[in-house]
Amino acid sequence: MIEETLDIATTDGAMETFICHPSVAVRSPR
Amino acid sequence: MLLMDAHGVRDELRDMARRLGTVGYYVLLPNLYYRAGRDTIYGPTVSENGSAEHTRMRAVRTKMTIPPVMADVAAMLAFIDRQEAAKGGPVGAHGYCMSGPYALAAAARYPDRIAAAASFYGTWLVNDAEESPHLNLGKVKGELYIACAEHDELAPLPMVDELRGLFRRAGTAGEIELYPRVHHGFAFPQRWCYDKPAAERHWERLIALYRRRLG
């Protein structure tokens, strides 16, 4: 599992967002 | 997109995001309170009515409205589109408590991107707010799943019945399900009212929805 917390730019500022996903290599959930 | 409940981003929600990640999805869990500053992460006493943390949270939560969150959803969609690790195409959004309406509103605002949306004990799904979910059910092209707790003063049964009628008349794909004998917050493992069978059902229904609509 890859995890990171970063800011997503919005019209009102920077929205801190926790992100997780299996890996860069997995493009499909199946 | 996993949209937070009123208590905000915390380890409990990060763990829920991880669970969705383990079945293959690229998951975003944004701090929707960011407009109020970085100091919008709350300690465990946020769940205690009258506590300092609860009061601090309520000062932010009561200012939340749907349209700005829809702008945030647009920002997340643009972000997702730039990520190599995220499969392109349809996106799912689900929200708990205050974010139930946000997830459903997102499906109406972005019908060509949000192919699946779910609300779990979403609050006041029928009200006079701008973009209240009940107003735009007919705009949704994807599938909705709306889970309500039998005991929920923030989503009373007459409201659920009204929404069910509107849902049917709009011809929206999906369903509204009442979870019997459980309270608002039943899917949160750290909540006093956590109900494991109902929580597991919520996972089963959510993942099945995402499998059908997102792949």
Q: What is the pLDDT along chain A (30 residues), one digit of tens a residue?
A: 999 999 999 999 999 999 999 975 444 444
* pLDDT tens digit sequence for B47-69: 999 999 999 999 999 999 999 99
Task: Measure in Å the smallest separation between the Cα of B148 and chain A Cα atoms.
Answer: 26
Rounded Cα distance, B28 and B137, in Å: 24
Residue B215, chain A, CB below 8 Å: the answer is: yes
Which pLDDT belongs to residue B191?
96
The answer to whether the CB atoms of B32 and A15 lie below 8 A apart is yes
For chain B, say whether A24 makes contact (Cβ under 8 Å).
yes
Q: Which residue of A8, A19, A20 is in closest CB contact with B75?
A: A8
Alpha carbon dihedral B158, B163, B166, B172, in 10-degree steps, equals: -150
Burial label, B49 (beta-carbon count in 10 A; 0-12, 13-18, 19+): exposed
Closest Cα partner for B118 from B138, B139, B142?
B142
Mutate to test the interface with A, among B28, B33, B209 (most CBs of A within 10 A): B28
pLDDT on residue A23 = 76
- Please, what is the angle between helix B100-109 and helix B66-81, to 10°? 70
Cα distances from B24 to residues A12, B66, B143, B154, B157, in angstroms, run 31, 29, 20, 32, 35
- What pLDDT was estimated at residue A28? 47
Distance CA B13, CA B18 (A): 9
Q: Residue B138 above 70 pLDDT?
A: yes
**Over residues B10-17, mean pLDDT:** 98
Least CB-CB distance to A19: which of B13, B27, B87? B27
Residue B114 has pLDDT above 90, yes or no: yes
The SS3 call for residue B147 is strand
Nearest residue, CB atoms, A24 vs list B85, B211, B215:
B85
pLDDT of residue A29: 47
Put simply, whether B67 touches A (Cβ < 8 Å) is no
Could A20 and B14 be called an inter-chain contact, meaning their C-beta atoms sit closer than 8 Å?
A: yes
Whether B18 and A1 have beta carbons less than 8 Å apart is answered as yes
- Tell me what the mean pLDDT of segment B36-55 comes to: 94
**Predicted ipTM?**
0.95
With pLDDT > 70 as the criterion, what percentage of chain B qualifies? 100
Give me the DSSP letters along A2-30: EEEEEEEEETTEEEEEEEEES-TT--S--
- pTM score > 0.90 for this model? yes
